[in-house]
Structure 1
Amino acid sequence: MNFKLRIRTAETPQGQKLAIVPLEGRFDAKAASEARQLLQQVLDFGYTNLLIDMSAVTFMDSSGLGVLISALRKCRAAGGNLGLCGVPESVALVLRLTSMEKVLTCFDDLETGIANFPTASSAR
């Protein structure tokens, strides 16, 4: 996986600014370090609300999951939140097996994620 910093921004109906971060390909141990750096760059730009578009992810293992949990913690520590959208069934299965679907907010698609992005206080 060769991540590129291709974030877009959006604003929720509640006025929250979101950074939309697309990921693609295999989200495994090989890609985890690169993804961690990418998400840290987005946070360093001052975004505290991240909506990660997973629609092009073909596989995710525990390393990828660890990156997402770490990013969620950083977002919440900065007063924001993190959500996932377009989660493929193979990734949803990993989330269910690890009970992380209870921790990570998932949306069917990008538009739904933007419209329903949780505030930091509502997700804790």
Structure 2
Amino acid sequence: MQLTIDVKKDGSACVLTVRGEVDVYTSPLLKSHLAEAIDEGCLDIVVDLDGVGFIDSSGLGALVSGLRRVKERSGSLRLVCTKDSILKVFRITGLDKVFPIMSSVEEAAEF
């Protein structure tokens, strides 16, 4: 399945809406979108994963890379995810303790 990423910017805040499967083939696209957003001044990033049907370790790596990059600039990265299958991956890997995971973009924007 193809990966699409829509980026909405509002000053230093950005929402990346991700749809599709994030795997070894598509994770470089996610990583590059995150890096580009940060390089363009986004320091308050929300990644909406509700449109993601599958994520593997390379996708998790892309998110961790984005988190590391934005924290170097004193920014933040929060996730939106309500799908049990995706949340399970974060729980199993312990990344649910690393990323704030919210149930909506609105909730993440207020955090």
TM exceeding 0.5: yes
In the alignment, does 2:39 pair up with 1:44?
yes
Unaligned runs of 5+ in 2: none
Q: TM-score, normalised by structure 2?
A: 0.91
The percent of aligned pairs where both chains have the same amino acid is 25
In the other structure, the counterpart of 2:4 is 3
Shift of 1:10: 4.8
Task: State the superposition RMSD in angstroms.
Answer: 1.5
> CA deviation digits over 1:79-119, x for unaligned, max 9?
10100013421110000000110001100011111111xxx
Give the residue type in structure 2 aligned to 1:7.
V
Q: Which runs of 4+ in 1 moved over 4 A?
A: none
Alpha-carbon distance in 2 for matches of 1:10, 1:54: 19
Higher strand content, 1 or 2: 2
In the other structure, the counterpart of 1:112 is 107
Alpha-carbon distance in 1 for matches of 2:93, 2:70: 21
Q: TM-score, normalised by structure 1?
A: 0.82
Distance 1:25 1:2, change over 3 A: closer
Report if aligned partners of 1:53, 1:87 keep a CA contact under 8 Å in 2: no
Shift of 1:2: 3.7
In the alignment, does 2:93 pair up with 1:92?
no
Match of 2:13 among 4, 18, 21: 18
